[in-house]
Structure 1
Amino acid sequence: MDAVNPATNERIDTYEDDSPAAVEQALADAADAFESWRGVPLRERQELLASAGEVLRDRTRELATVMTREMGKPITQAESEVEKCAWVCDHYAEFADSYLASDHHPSPPEATVKTRYDPLGPVLAVMPWNYPFWQVFRFAAPSLTAGNVGLLKHASNVPGCAKAIEDVFREAGYPEGAFQSLLIPSDLVDDVLEDERVRAATLTGSGPAGRAVASTAGENLKKTVLELGGSDPFVVLDDADIDAAAETGAWARNMNGGQSCIAAKRFIVHDAVYDEFLDAFLEEVESLAVGDPMDETTEVGPQASQSLLEDLHEQVEASVDAGATVLAGGEPLDGEGAFYPPTVLTDVPEGCPADAEELFGPVASVFRVESEDAAVEKANDTRFGLGASVWTEDRDRGERVASRIDAGCTYVNQLTKSDPRVPFGGVKDSGYGRELSAAGIHEFVNRKTVWIE
């Protein structure tokens, strides 16, 4: 696997794929580790997770630099990602014991009946490149603390991140085999998932990848959690704080180079404030600093690879050919690196890529609607259902509109985000299952009823 710096398109390192023998050894080690790890007292597992958080904080700049060099995330955003991983470790180090406490049920006087939350075994995690640390830790922190062991198949363009994450757990004191990275191509995922020693799988990624994992897991009767793509609506109603909506919206679309499943992608704006919002939004978008991701003043770095940039630009060109208007950006930047500028499209025709597909880069589609009902209809006019954001000065109205939008999480007067304290996940083509909070740690456990007479 070649690690390529997208800011320069230069190869920075090469990693050898794991051999079939190495994969077999990893599976055997995971199975062996689970038998002892499941018996480690929960309090000790929580203490180890707290240690992992400390390792992350001690190595923040180093780990952030690995991210930035491999996938182009601006260094300040990469540091924030490492800190967020430490936060999720802190969260489960504090709350896992309460999340996993047995639930007691009504029973006859002579009996005690409860539900225990026991681990399942080795869990395969197929993870993406866009948040190469956070996506892994939001799975690993709860799952390992519940007593499972982890096998990470990371995206092939971030092998250094995969190895660094494995090192974090090792340095924190986790036993051998508790968390391992497999450097394998995607076409070997089925073989690993079909192995009887692997008991469940989680995937964050594209719809086709999710369907493939779900199909294989289903054939083998294994639990899955899928967090797939999104085309999140950002609804601006006629009573919104326009300056706040424009400022937050520009950031919600463009942070991490726009490469986020929960980025605001479709801006659905009430006619009464459309022109005002568009002017303010354009000003915010055009003020974002694009450049070297190692420069701490950079806000938008490169796309994660040249091929991803080319795919994005094809979607923009197809949308323009269909009738969309480019008000900002719209062309790759000259020079080295996979740089695409923050882009704003209006007059977006129904069914073109900017309307119907997920644009995984810094391209905002802006739509004009005539009413609240039309805004909700447009927000739901998508096969995706991950996140949404609603902007209004009336909190009751915001909650009412949020309840009508088909999404796994909807924020009022805030950008869509993931937070260790609350469940996260989608509906429709955005997947199923939940991560984070109590819901996340309960995904990969055996909810075992125990009746004691």
Structure 2
Amino acid sequence: MPFVAINPENGQRLGELPNHSHGEVQARITAAHAASRSWRQAPLAERADTLRAIAARLDAQAEPLARLMADEMGKPFTQGVGEAKKCAWACRYYAEHAPGWLAAEPAQTEAIRSYTRRDALGVILAIMPWNFPFWQVFRFASAALMAGNTALIKHAPNTPHCGEAIETLLREAGAPPLLLNLRVEVDEVGAIIADDRVAAVTLTGSTAAGQAVGALAARHLKRAVLELGGSDPCIILADADLDRAATVAAASRLLNNGQSCIAAKRFLVERAVAEEFTERFAAAMASHTQGPPRSPDTKLGPMARLDLRDAIHRQVLSSVAEGAVVRLGGELPEGPGFWYPATLLTHCQDGMPAWDEETFGPVAALRVVDSAEEAVELANRSPYGLGAALWTADRERAEALAGRLECGAVFVNELVKSDPRLPFGGVKRSGYGRELGQLGLYEFVNHKGVWVS
């Protein structure tokens, strides 16, 4: 089946791109493998210059790319501009810092000279989602390319033109064929992972997809990084700045129309401030203007696909049937497009879909707790462990609590986000491996010990 783009604003078909044939897939694997042989030998300064050129194109094309994201998956225009510029930042960050991290690291031994060198692995298969069609690629690729690898990108079927735009960007930047698209069906991925020319695999997607890809990678002894789902807790303690906490919490939950793995989803509020925070939080969520994704004034657009909109509404209805209370939103709008309102559910408990499951849409689930200890216990009572937010005026206490939260990142008095300067990834059913930071660079290198006598 072809990769078909549907405009989520109105449900109209935008266009399609054909799947690659078996011969085309093989040719692209061959091209990526050949490019990796020469790219890994390129001096670090040359690689850095290439990444800076890619960054320049991302900056120059930020607005057209934002319009493309708005059309294919409903991302608000200003957020799309920010996504493109964040990709550029990551490229520049690794161009600046990776040469030092990739340099030979001396070891004190009896040898005349001994050290660890860091060589590229080769071709990385990247299975990418639709929700951040550019950032998800460059989040791993900025480091992987700087380390001397190349990549084959399997984009999500509903954002095919975003995938094509990445290939175009690299060509316009004068780069060799370092990132090549593969438009293939899910059942073709196993053979690609098994191919001896593919050295490793990275996936951003659901836990179920991660289990399948992780098993395939293990079967063929391929290194894998899995960034999977999340149901991030946001803990509001009684001494928090409630105005700022409510504003940032709403932004976190509604970013990308609520379709972000690291969005705050479960809100645990200390009883002493529960009603006050809930009132401010509901007002902050309601203030996110819903409108056409291409409009610079829009803060909340449509959901990316009809099935996703229907799934989030089922979670809301089931949770309400089990005792959750709708404080805001919760009604399925009429008319074309895949719209869903900002929704706040209170009185949430274990067993409700909005609390137990990942909610991938603009729905917040709130629960009152009696203490920080109870909040941490409930935060950890989840199969997921991607990120967590903690709001309190006591920073020393916050750092102590951060050590008890079972997740890959904790942000105190701030929105949880990926940042090129910090490692990003999860624990438990949120996956394993890291992207970004120095650790992200080292995921796809061969740490080779060298001894010279």
TM-score (norm 2): 0.98
Structural mapping, 1:76-225, within 5 Å: 76-108=78-110, 110-176=111-177, 178-225=178-225
> 2-side partners of 1:332 and 1:291: how far apart?
16
Note if 1:426 corresponds to 2:426: yes
Indicate the residue corresponding to 1:32 in structure 2. 34
Of the structure 1 ranges 95-104 and 365-374, higher mean CA displacement relative to structure 2 is found in 95-104
- Give the gaps of 5 or more residues in structure 2: none
Partner in structure 2 of residue 438 of structure 1:
438
Deviation digits for residues 335-364 of structure 1, max 9, x if unmatched?
A: 221110000001113111111100000000
| Unpaired stretches in structure 1, ≥5 consecutive residues | none
> Structure 1 residue 171: deviation in Å?
1.4
Corresponding residue SS for 2:59:
helix
Instruction: Give the CA deviation at 1:111.
Output: 2.0
Residues of 1 paired with 2:75 and 2:176: CA distance? Answer: 31
Match of 2:253? 253
Give the distance between the partners of 1:162 and 1:207, measured in 2 at CA. Answer: 23
Distance in 2 (CA, whole Å) between partners of 1:339 and 1:448 is 51
- Alpha-carbon distance in 2 for matches of 1:332, 1:133: 30
Find the counterpart in structure 2 of residue 351 from structure 1. Answer: 351
The code of the aligned residue for 1:93 comes to: A
Write the distance in 2 (CA, Å) between the matches of 1:255 and 1:28. Answer: 39
Distance 2:256 2:37 in 1: 39
> How far apart, in 2, do the equivalents of 1:27 and 1:381 lie?
42
Q: Which residue in the other structure is 1:337 paired with?
A: 337
1:72 to 71, 74, 85: 74
Letter aligned with residue 143 of structure 2: P
- Where 2:180 maps in the other structure, the secondary structure is strand
CA distance, structure 1, for counterparts of residue 166 and residue 350 of structure 2: 42
- What SS class does the counterpart of residue 359 from structure 1 fall into? coil
Deviations 1:177-197 (A, max 9, x none): x21011112221111111111
CA positional deviation for 1:372? 1.1
Offset of residue 332 of structure 1: 2.0
Instruction: Tell me, in whole angstroms, the C-alpha distance in 1 between the residues paired with 2:188 and 2:175.
Output: 27
SS at match of 2:198: coil
Contact 2:236 2:390 in 1 (8 A): yes
Residue number in structure 1 paired with 2:299:
299
**1:3 is the counterpart of 2:12:** no
- Counterpart of 2:243? 243
Deviations 1:396-449 (A, max 9, x none): 011111111101000000010000011111000000001001111100010000
Q: Distance in 2 between matches of 1:331 and 1:184?
A: 36
List structure 1 runs of 4+ shifted beyond 4 angstroms.
none
Report the CA distance between 1:33 and its aligned residue: 1.3
Report the AA paired with residue 142 of structure 1: A
Whole-angstrom CA distance in 2 between matches of 1:273 and 1:419: 31
* Aligned-residue offset at 1:276: 0.8
Distance 2:168 2:187 in 1: 25
1:59 aligns to what? 61
Amino acid at match of 1:124: L
For the 8 Å contact 2:349–2:367, the answer to whether it is kept is no
- Describe the SS at the equivalent of 1:199: strand
How far residue 137 of structure 1 moved from its aligned partner, in angstroms, is 0.5
State the identity as a percent: 48
Q: Which moved more, 1:98-107 or 1:263-272?
A: 98-107
For 1:100, the aligned partner's letter is L
Q: CA deviation at 1:451?
A: 0.6
Distance in 2 of aligned mates of 1:360 and 1:116: 41
The residue number in structure 2 matching 1:367 is 367
Shift of residue 102 of structure 1? 1.5
260-269 vs 24-33, which moves further: 24-33
Letter in 2 for 1:133: F
SS of 1:388's partner is strand
Structure 1 distance, partners of 2:360, 2:101, is: 35
Partners of 1:226 and 1:30 in 2: CA distance: 22
How far apart are the structure 2 equivalents of 1:70 and 1:186? 20
Deviation per CA, 1:156-206, whole angstroms, max 9, x where unpaired? 100000010111112112223x21011112221111111111010000010
- Contact 2:69/2:80 (<8 A) preserved: yes
| Secondary structure at the counterpart of residue 150 of structure 1 | strand
Provide the C-alpha distance between the structure 1 equivalents of 2:266 and 2:146, rounded to a whole number of angstroms. 37
Deviations 1:99-154 (A, max 9, x none): 1112111112x521111110011000001000110000011111011111110001
**Matching residue's letter, 1:280:** R
Q: In 2, Cα distance between the equivalents of 1:191 and 1:11?
A: 31
Q: Counterparts of 1:85 and 1:30 in 2: how far apart (Å)? A: 21
For 2:174 and 2:94, the matched residues in 1 are separated by: 17
One-letter amino acid matched to 1:140: A
Question: Partner residue of 2:394?
Answer: 394
State the secondary structure of the residue aligned to 2:403: helix
**2: CA distance, partners of 1:318 / 1:369:** 23
Distance between the aligned counterparts of 1:208 and 1:390, measured in 2? 28
Q: CA-to-partner distance for each residue in 1:365-402, whole Å, 9 max, x for gaps?
A: 00100011101101111000000000000110111111
Cα RMSD between the aligned structures? 0.8
> How many angstroms apart in 1 are the aligned matches of 2:333 and 2:255?
18
Q: Output the amino acid matched with 1:413.
A: N
Code of the residue aligned with 1:40 in structure 2: it is A
- Separation in 2, partners of 1:144, 1:452: 29
Letter matched to residue 215 of structure 2: S
